[in-house]
């Protein structure tokens, strides 16, 4: 009888363990449990009034890395204050991005959280592309070429190799909820959602979060001046399309319902010299500059939603007289979000 009980217990444990993992839309995912996994790393976060920072370990498959989060807590912060995640560009300079939001933080009483990912720990695939592909290698180094008034990184598609990442739990998008959870726990505040402003490479992360991780705690997503996009499309493969991402219609229904705003500077066009831009045959189908690529992404995403007969909630907002400037775009974003 004792042996039978042990066998039954073992079967039950295996069954429960198996039920916490499912294959959804072609990805291995772990279902939410009563104790939020986002707080499993037992980080003790202390957020004081004013500017500061705290550290936490990386997410799945990045546990040995550290994420430094730069924050600004306004003097009048309270339980109704908005919380904004500010995702920096390729420079990973979260402290500068945080600083650029201090005045708006105090004006609109918003808590600013800006995560910094070290480039040696999070490469182009892990950061810009959010981890949707891995083991990315440049078989030939990108070369610098002049395009109009600027220099671009030029590479041929066949000179890039990568593998699809089947483990969505390891995508960088999951970190945003973790950072938010740690902050609200530290502040003992009841906020259930947060907004995102991502600029340049941060904008790439922001729009891919909407595409690949629509079940998050994010409310509004402003993806500003992204250099490239993963377009919801059955015509182009990863990382710039979703043909081989195995995403279901129900997944796209959730993704297109997200409050995603493509927040693009009018002057981030062919004459803009700020920031670095990738040129390759695959990504150049989206356009040769950031404004054109945003318009391409919006147009083709809308076509995809129509093809699938789904409601399309995404917006394209072009900001006049601003180019690839994160400070000015941040000021415009603050006005858009909080006025």
Pairs from 300-307 (Cβ < 8 Å, separation ≥ 24) = 300/231, 300/232, 300/233, 301/231, 301/232, 301/256, 304/231, 304/232, 304/233, 304/234, 304/252, 305/232, 305/252, 305/256
Specify whether 114 is located in the same domain as 22: no
Strand, helix or coil at 286? coil
Mean pLDDT value of segment 183-199: 97
Strands 111-116 and 66-73: antiparallel
Query: Cα-flanking dihedrals φ and ψ of residue 334, to 5°?
Result: -60, -45
Mean pLDDT value of segment 159-188: 97
pLDDT tens per residue, range 71-112: 999 999 999 999 999 999 999 999 999 999 999 999 999 999
Q: What is the domain extent for residue 27?
A: 1-31
pTM: 0.89
Q: What is the pLDDT of residue 36?
A: 42
Mean pLDDT value of segment 134-162: 93
Specify whether 13 is located in the same domain as 118: no
Specify whether 188 is located in the same domain as 292: yes
Residue 253 pLDDT > 50: yes
Integer CA distances (angstroms), 120 to 96, 123, 156, 266, in order: 19, 7, 24, 33
Specify whether 14 is located in the same domain as 111: no
Specify whether 280 is located in the same domain as 170: yes
Residue 148 pLDDT > 70: yes
Q: What is the pLDDT of residue 161?
A: 97
Work out how many domains the chain is built from and give that number: 2
- pLDDT-derived band at 113 (thresholds 50, 70, 90) equals very high
Specify whether 3 is located in the same domain as 79: no
Q: What is the pLDDT of residue 150?
A: 87
Specify whether 312 is located in the same domain as 281: yes
Specify whether 191 is located in the same domain as 314: yes
Contact 292, 286 (CB under 8 A): yes
């Amino acid at each position: 009888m004792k042996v039978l009980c042990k066998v039954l217990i073992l079967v039950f444990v295996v069954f429960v363990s198996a039920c916490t993992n499912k294959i959804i839309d072609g990805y291995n995912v772990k279902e939410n449990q009563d104790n939020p996994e986002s707080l499993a790393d037992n980080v003790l976060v202390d957020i004081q009034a004013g500017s500061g920072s705290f550290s936490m370990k990386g997410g799945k498959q990045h546990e040995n890395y550290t994420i430094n989060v730069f924050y600004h807590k306004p003097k009048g912060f309270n339980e109704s204050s908005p919380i904004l995640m500010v995702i920096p560009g390729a420079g990973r300079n979260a402290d500068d991005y945080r600083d650029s939001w201090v005045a708006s933080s105090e004006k609109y009483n918003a808590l600013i959280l800006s995560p910094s990912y070290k480039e040696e720990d999070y490469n182009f695939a892990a950061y810009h592309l959010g981890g949707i592909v891995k083991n990315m290698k440049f078989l030939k180094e990108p070369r610098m070429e002049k395009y109009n008034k600027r220099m671009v990184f030029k590479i041929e598609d066949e000179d890039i190799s990568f593998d699809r990442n089947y483990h969505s739990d390891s995508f960088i998008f999951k970190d945003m909820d973790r950072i938010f959870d740690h902050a609200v726990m530290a502040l003992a505040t009841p906020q259930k959602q947060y907004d995102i402003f991502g600029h340049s490479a941060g904008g790439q992360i922001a729009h891919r979060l909407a595409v690949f991780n629509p079940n998050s705690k994010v409310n509004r997503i402003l993806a500003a001046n992204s250099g490239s996009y993963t377009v919801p499309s059955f015509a182009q493969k990863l990382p710039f399309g979703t043909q081989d991402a195995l995403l279901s219609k129900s997944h796209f229904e959730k993704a297109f319902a997200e409050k995603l705003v493509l927040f693009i500077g009018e002057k981030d066009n062919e004459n803009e010299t700020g920031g670095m831009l990738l040129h390759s045959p695959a990504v150049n189908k989206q356009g040769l500059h950031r404004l054109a690529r945003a318009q391409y992404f919006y147009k083709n995403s809308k076509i995809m939603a129509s093809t699938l007969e789904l409601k399309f909630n995404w917006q394209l907002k072009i900001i006049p007289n601003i180019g690839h400037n994160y400070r000015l775009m941040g000021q415009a974003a603050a006005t858009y979000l909080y006025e």
